[in-house]
Structure 1
Amino acid sequence: MEPQNSDRREPRRRPTYTIRRIKPSDFSEVAAILAKSMKDDDLYTAVFPRREEHYDISLDGFLRLTKERYWTPGCVMYVAVTAPDGDNCSHIEKIVGHASWKRTGTSPAAQIWTSENEGGWNGLQLSLCRTQDSLARYFQPNKTIVEKPPPSPQFDDNFPSSIFPELWYLATLAVDPEYRGQGIDKLLAQRGIHHAVEENVPLGLESSARGRKLYDKMGFKLFKTTVIGEMAVPVMVWEPPRPSVETEKAREWQGMNGTTQIYTRYP
């Protein structure tokens, strides 16, 4: 009988992550991840070439952007966080990634998402965010740019409502550089795909060179090429699979019976 090796160690477990909705207490961490992640992003570099020289300005801009999106009707924001390892009761959650989606359209499903951020208090918060942003831009000129950047294509230029009356649009996806290569970006993108399949609407995004490989693997297709600054940027679309005959019949039955809430949702 061989003696037991007292120095034998358990194999190190691969860290796991989970996705949840963003909270106001997450704003600072999310802004820091955006600022770090965009340091080597080709699109961001083209527009803000001096971002590393003025990191504090970049960080402050991302913080204002995160707050404004949080209060904007139709914006749906998620964070990727470290999950507890087994029975580790002392686990401290760490945010390692972020995705910001925008749901457009006039369908009942779109209106459900839009109604989340409607109302007096939300409207007031959004107005305050936009006022703060305007004041910051006036009193603190953006030193991360060399000259005034050329106007970027608007959302409607890339995703015209005549072609995409209903859409889930991925405005931002960022992963902490220290946690790249662990599938976190895919987890964040899959959350949007879940909603798109559930509501039977397409997804749209403008891809950086770094993200193109992931989106190709996930089934996104090139819709068109736009230009930001002097850079050609792929505009990509993901189409949900065609629903089965049984699914279509179920939806018709629900409509005939007056059921309007036919979508389930992640919290």
Structure 2
Amino acid sequence: MPIRPAQQSDLLPASKVCAAAFFDESLFGDIIHPFRHQYPEDCHLYWLKRFNAEFGQVDNHFFVATTPGINGSDETVVGLAHWVRKRAKQVDADALLEDKKDQKAQELPPNRAIDPKNENILERAYPFFSHQWSGPRAESWYLGCLAVDPQCHGQGIGRQMVAWGFQQAEQEGVCVSVISAHGKDTFYKRCGFTTITGSANDGEGNPMEGVEGGLILFKDV
């Protein structure tokens, strides 16, 4: 399955792959998109908003898996991986990122499937588990998102996109990390994430307390 760096034009089809892959997942489905059955065509807007904000930002690397289109020449995006190079001394691009988020948000139609108060639940939960990337684990290749079209499961697409980050980490002598979605723990362990360090749902007052999934896994140096 061909895998290549994503282009801006890939973000829309990739967002629809993510919407399909996470449609019934606990966090991205039930909690963030409680009205998804009424407005299934809107769910991809959540992912597109995130991708638009992060694409092209320092240390963010997007890849897509493709298959030949119907006419044999055009590609169809069937998978996406978003890898982030976490560093002990992060480049301070937060202000630029927020500006870009606001700008892109104005260009998208409203997401009728979403619960507005939970749209940023991950950002609000981050202070409860960000300490996991510290000390010897401060330098890491972090898999921020991995999604494969449900119709293409079982073809090894996800493993190929995970392997890219492992190769980068091995070359640099740093960790690899991921926060597992509900039901994906076994997959990530088989890919080589060998150490469980905690959960993104831990901590009193964490807005993700009680959410299924969220296991934090590393492959240490």
Tell me, yes or no, whether TM beats 0.5: yes
1:130 partnered with 2:115:
no
Indicate conservation of the 8 Å contact 2:67/2:75, yes or no: yes
Equivalent residue number for residue 198 of structure 2: 224
Indicate the residue corresponding to 1:148 in structure 2.
Answer: 117
SS of 1:67's partner is helix
Instruction: Give the CA deviation at 1:106.
Output: 5.6
Alpha-carbon distance in structure 2 between the residues aligned to 1:229 and 1:142? 25
Matches within 5 A, 1:54-203: 54-82=39-67, 90-105=72-87, 127-133=99-105, 135=106, 140=110, 143-145=113-115, 148-149=117-118, 151-154=124-127, 157-203=130-176
Aligned partner letter, 1:208: A
Q: What CA deviation, in whole Å up to 9, does each residue of 1:202-252 have, x standing for no partner? A: 111110233211111122121112312422521100124xxxxxxxxxxxx
Q: Which amino acid aligns with 1:127?
A: D
How much does 1:68 deviate?
A: 1.3
Partner in structure 2 of residue 214 of structure 1: 187
Q: Secondary structure at the match of 1:223?
A: strand
For residue 220 of structure 2, the aligned residue among 239, 243, 259 is 239
Structure 2 letter corresponding to 1:79: V
CA distance in 1, matches of 2:176, 2:68: 27
2-structure distance, mates of 1:63, 1:197: 30
Q: Note closer, same or farther for the CA distance 1:55–1:193 as it changes in structure 2 (3 Å cut).
A: same
Matched residue SS, 2:200: strand
Report the Cα distance in structure 1 between the residues aligned to 2:27 and 2:37, rounded to whole angstroms: 15
Quickly say closer, same or farther: Cα 1:39–1:234, change in 2 above 3 A: same
Contact 1:203 1:238 in 2 (8 A): yes
Distance change >3 Å, CA 177–CA 154, structure 1 → 2: farther
The DSSP-based 3-state class of the residue aligned with 2:183 is helix
Structure 1 length as normaliser, TM-score?
0.66
Shift in alpha-carbon separation, 1:51–1:158, aligned structure 2, 3 A: farther
Give the CA RMSD over aligned residues: 3.1
Instruction: Indicate conservation of the 8 Å contact 1:46/1:229, yes or no.
Output: no
Question: Do the aligned residues in 2 keep the contact of 1:30 with 1:66 (CA within 8 Å)?
Answer: no
Residue pair 1:75, 1:103 contacting (<8 A) in 2 also = yes
* SS at 2:126 equivalent: coil
Instruction: State the Cα deviation string for residues 64-115 of structure 1 (Å, max 9, x = none).
Output: 211111122110111111279xxxx9443221100001112168xx9xxx7x
Alignment of 1:248-267 (within 5 A): none
Looking at structure 2, the residues matched to 69 and 216 of structure 1 have their Cα atoms a distance apart, in angstroms, of 27
TM-score, structure 2 length as denominator?
0.78
Hey, what does 1:52 align to over in structure 2? Answer: 37
CA contact under 8 A between 1:71 and 1:126: conserved in structure 2? Answer: no
Equivalenced residue count is: 204
Q: How far apart, in 2, do the equivalents of 1:93 and 1:141 lie?
A: 27
Q: Which has the larger radius of gyration?
A: 1
Match of 1:95, as an amino acid? V
Contact 1:47-1:229 within 8 A present in 2 as well:
no
Contact kept in structure 2, 1:158 and 1:235, CA below 8 Å: no
Q: Deviation of residue 142 (structure 1)? A: 5.9
